[in-house]
């Protein structure tokens, strides 16, 4: 099976955030970029499928500026991806998410792809738009909120579940398919040192993004604000549990006005 | 002339979902009145359910009466939504912020030549420019995006906008005749559905009130204390990863970085320490209450109200008090 996995470099979860002087962008103080949380799971899922289906290949694709994009692609190779393509977006900030999908689709279209795996949403912009838009540009169906993805070789079908509001749905689909993964593994594999060293020598294909299509709607990020730090909880003082309950309910009803 | 806004409706057990009603309200404000909002509804019951839009003053609803778009990928719908938007000459489509709306947004925008944004909490229009605000980085920052003209597909964050006011009116139905969707694009299909545990309650992502339990509950059987409070409040139940990893409750209830992001009006964290991976999933809730025996637990830094105490004593008392004031 030919699998493509799209990974996005995002600031590491613990990074403290700070707005730039003009407020127009966000400067992560510590500039450690890592695979977005769900993308780590997408890579893990791709590698599990590859291991269960001999002859499979996993190709990682990422769009972004140097050097972070190349770094996360090397990390994906060190984990076990076979090849990588870097769509070099140049230094331009905050591209429109649909333009990102269009550029990824152009880079991906020539690669064989029975399955394209993405994260449900990236931990930075949290748009969750790229997977479905990418599928549209590729002309392939897409499904989101996917967990437990498997390949049923006998029937040549993917089987999976979707975690949505109403509950867990079971689904099936033939290849090709674009999947936005919602699943998180507790312990996705970590790269071993020899693999990390070897990944430095694997060539990464570098392609320019496609030219912007004129006349389509486009959004631009203009400002980031950090909320004032919460001042900390107002503690309810009480003698008995009953009194604590009574005071809390009163505060929620009369002060916070949230009590239904 | 004011611009018309298309609101794609979602049915939950045969009614418009709460998020759809919020989208109608947001659309009415954006377009200068509910009569400038046009509804869209697809599915086997589209015709019989479309008048639901009329409860909120929406006079026209585009319908796609096609049972095949249920349990099919969103691609099966996109052609019809685009056809409706083109017929009506609208530039803006609003969607509920549920998994349905989020899945539809990207594909719809790509097909329609639009930009898109999800998790939107505010929309303002200045001339032909739309300005949006939305939380990013798990609620640790708020982003403002600007759309300078052109088409836009916006999925709204649940509870960020007030529901549309009731103003019953007659609705005109406009059946949409859309070109057939290629077989390839509808090749995936649903084969079954297991309703969520506690299925009758609101879904985690859409609930106005969420009560979540953590490792402080000590054992799976104690988790019912959380469920009882949730039931008394009509709330959804959530859990920390410590709970779902231990298998006390299914992972579909996990809130946080690797679980669901929630933003209810009220979030009650019980026996949860407040690790950053949990906080990013709930920090944008409007009001946060923490119940924890350790006064130095980080959850108290983000909470609005705190009770430092033993959950095994506080929780039953709180459930009783809630039942009492709600007359249960
Ligand atoms: C990559 C990664 C992703 C993660 N993703 C998530 C995620 O999505 N969601 C998530 O929740 N976690 C996530 N985690 C785990 C997270 O770091 C914490 O380990 C987890 O949230 C802790 O759960 P907890 O608060 O229930 O348990 P603990 O941290 O053990 O806290 C239990 C709390 O209960 C209190 N307590 C104990 N007894 C009582 C009592 N009798 N009365 C009142 N209070 C009591 C204690 O004081 C303590 O504060 C992730 C971790 C990693 C590394
Ligand atoms: N710049 C990018 N390069 C590669 N993949 C991306 C990029 N942006 C988004 N994705 C993929 O799309 C998913 C959803 O991202 P988003 O739509 O930005 O929330 C991510 O988890 C990635 O799998």
User: Looking at residue B100, which CATH number applies to its domain?
Assistant: 3.40.50.620
CA distances from A166 to A34, A59, A162, B193 (A): 33, 34, 10, 8
Phi, psi (degrees; rounded to nearest 5) at A45: -60, -45
Please say whether the beta carbons of A251 and B305 come within 8 A.
Answer: yes
B253 lines ligand 1 (CB under 6 A): no
Residue B264: is its pLDDT beyond 60?
Answer: yes
Interval A116-165: pLDDT, tens = 999 987 767 778 899 999 999 999 999 998 888 999 999 999 999 987 77
Judgement on whether residues A76 and A187 belong to the same structural domain of the protein = yes
- Side-chain half-sphere exposure of B258, counting CA atoms within 13 A: 22
Judgement on whether residues B181 and B224 belong to the same structural domain of the protein = no
Boundaries of domain holding B166: 5-186
Q: For position B200, what pLDDT does the model report?
A: 43
How many structural domains does chain A have? 2
Boundaries of domain holding A203: 2-207
Judgement on whether residues A181 and A252 belong to the same structural domain of the protein = no
Judgement on whether residues A153 and A28 belong to the same structural domain of the protein = yes
CB atoms within 10 A of CB A114: 17
Instruction: Give the residue ranges of DSSP H helices in chain B.
Output: 18-31, 46-49, 75-88, 99-112, 224-233, 241-245, 276-279, 299-302, 311-325
Judgement on whether residues A46 and A151 belong to the same structural domain of the protein = yes
Judgement on whether residues A258 and A169 belong to the same structural domain of the protein = no
Judgement on whether residues A54 and A136 belong to the same structural domain of the protein = yes
Q: Is A244 on the interface with B (CB under 8 A)?
A: yes
CB atoms within 10 A of CB A238: 18
- Identify whether A214 is part of a domain: no
Residue B203 pLDDT level (bands cut at 50, 70, 90): confident
Judgement on whether residues A192 and A250 belong to the same structural domain of the protein = no
B293 lines ligand 1 (CB under 6 A): yes
**A219-225 and B141-148: which strand pairing?**
antiparallel
- Ranges of residues in chain A with a pLDDT under 70 are 13-16, 28-31, 92-93, 123, 184, 186, 260
Q: Considering only residues 154 to 183 of chain A, which have any Cβ-Cβ distance to chain B shorter than 8 Å?
A: 162-174, 177, 180
- Identify whether A223 is part of a domain: no
Judgement on whether residues A112 and A36 belong to the same structural domain of the protein = yes
Interval A52-65: pLDDT, tens = 999 999 999 999 99
Judgement on whether residues A134 and A70 belong to the same structural domain of the protein = yes
Residue B201: is its pLDDT beyond 70?
Answer: no
- Identify whether A29 is part of a domain: yes
Give the domain CATH number at B286. 3.40.50.1220
- Identify whether B318 is part of a domain: yes
Judgement on whether residues A142 and A248 belong to the same structural domain of the protein = no
Q: Which of A165, A232, A244 sits opposite B307 (nearest CB)?
A: A244
- Identify whether A216 is part of a domain: no
- B contacts of A164 (beta carbons < 8 Å): 98-100, 203
Judgement on whether residues B165 and B124 belong to the same structural domain of the protein = yes
Read off the pTM: 0.84
Judgement on whether residues B182 and B271 belong to the same structural domain of the protein = no
Name the 3-class secondary structure at A218. Answer: coil
Query: Which of A41, A64, A81, A100 is the best mutation target for the ligand 2 pocket, counting ligand atoms within 8 Å of the beta carbon and taking the most?
Result: A100
Judgement on whether residues B163 and B240 belong to the same structural domain of the protein = no
Last residue of a domain, one of B122, B151, B186: B186
- B contacts of A184 (beta carbons < 8 Å): 258-259
CA distances from B252 to A142, B59, B256, B267 (A): 21, 38, 11, 17
Please report the atom of ligand 1 found closest to the CA of residue B271. 34
Residue B75: is its pLDDT beyond 50?
Answer: yes
Q: Tell me the C-alpha distance between A61 and A103, whole Å.
A: 11
- Identify whether B197 is part of a domain: no
Q: Tell me the C-alpha distance between B231 and B212, whole Å.
A: 12
Judgement on whether residues A147 and A257 belong to the same structural domain of the protein = no
Judgement on whether residues A69 and A188 belong to the same structural domain of the protein = yes
């Amino acid at each position: 099976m030919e699998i493509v996995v799209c990974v996005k470099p995002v600031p590491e979860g613990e990074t403290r955030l700070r707005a730039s002087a003009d407020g127009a962008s966000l400067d992560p103080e510590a500039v450690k970029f890592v695979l977005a949380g769900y993308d780590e799971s997408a890579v893990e899922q791709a590698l599990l499928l590859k291991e269960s289906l001999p002859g499979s290949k996993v190709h990682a694709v990422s769009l972004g500026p140097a050097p972070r994009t190349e770094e996360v692609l090397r990390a994906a190779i060190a984990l076990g991806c076979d090849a990588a393509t870097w769509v070099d977006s140049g230094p331009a900030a905050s591209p429109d998410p649909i333009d990102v999908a269009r550029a990824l689709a152009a880079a991906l279209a020539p690669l064989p792809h029975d399955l394209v795996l993405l994260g449900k949403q990236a931990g930075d912009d949290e748009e969750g738009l790229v997977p479905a838009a990418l599928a549209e540009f590729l002309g392939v169906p897409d499904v989101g909120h996917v967990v437990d993805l498997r390949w049923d070789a006998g029937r040549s079908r993917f089987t999976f579940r979707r975690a949505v509001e109403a509950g867990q749905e079971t689904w099936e689909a033939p290849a090709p398919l674009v999947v936005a993964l919602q699943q998180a593994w507790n312990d996705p594999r970590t790269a071993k040192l020899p693999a990390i060293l070897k990944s430095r020598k694997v060539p990464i294909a570098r392609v320019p993004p496609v030219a912007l299509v004129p006349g389509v709607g486009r959004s631009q990020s203009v400002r980031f604000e950090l909320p004032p730090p919460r001042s900390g909880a107002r503690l309810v003082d009480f003698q008995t549990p009953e009194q604590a309950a009574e005071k809390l309910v009163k505060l929620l009803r009369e002060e916070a006005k949230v009590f239904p | 002339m004011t611009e018309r806004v298309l609101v794609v409706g979602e049915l939950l057990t045969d009614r418009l979902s709460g998020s759809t009603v919020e989208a109608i309200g947001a659309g009415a404000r954006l377009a200068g009145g509910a009569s400038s909002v046009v509804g869209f509804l697809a599915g086997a019951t589209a015709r019989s359910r479309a008048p639901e839009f009329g409860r909120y003053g929406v006079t026209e609803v585009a319908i796609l009466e096609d049972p095949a778009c249920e349990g099919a990928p969103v691609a099966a719908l996109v052609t019809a939504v685009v056809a409706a938007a083109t017929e009506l000459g609208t530039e803006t489509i609003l969607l509920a912020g549920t998994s349905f709306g989020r899945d539809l947004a990207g594909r719809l925008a790509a097909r329609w030549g639009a930009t898109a944004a999800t998790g939107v909490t505010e929309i303002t229009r200045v001339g032909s420019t739309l300005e949006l605000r939305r939380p990013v980085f798990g609620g640790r920052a708020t982003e403002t995006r600007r759309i300078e003209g052109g088409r836009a597909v916006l999925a709204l964050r649940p509870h960020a906008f007030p529901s549309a006011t009731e103003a019953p009116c007659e609705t005109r139905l406009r059946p949409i005749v859309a070109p057939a969707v290629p077989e390839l694009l509808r090749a995936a299909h649903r084969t079954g559905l297991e309703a969520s545990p506690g299925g009758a309650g609101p879904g985690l992502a859409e609930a106005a009130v969420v009560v979540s339990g953590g490792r402080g509950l000590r054992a799976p059987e104690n988790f019912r204390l959380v469920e009882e409070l949730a039931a008394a409040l009509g709330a959804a139940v959530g859990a920390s990863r410590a709970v779902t990893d231990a298998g006390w409750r299914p992972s579909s209830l996990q809130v946080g970085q690797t679980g669901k992001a929630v933003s209810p009006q009220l979030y009650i964290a019980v026996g949860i320490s407040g690790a950053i991976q949990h906080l990013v999933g709930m920090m944008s809730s409007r009001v946060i209450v923490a119940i924890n025996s350790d006064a130095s637990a980080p959850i108290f830094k983000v909470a609005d109200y705190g009770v430092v105490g033993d959950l095994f004593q506080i929780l039953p008392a709180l459930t009783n008090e809630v039942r009492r004031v709600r007359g249960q």
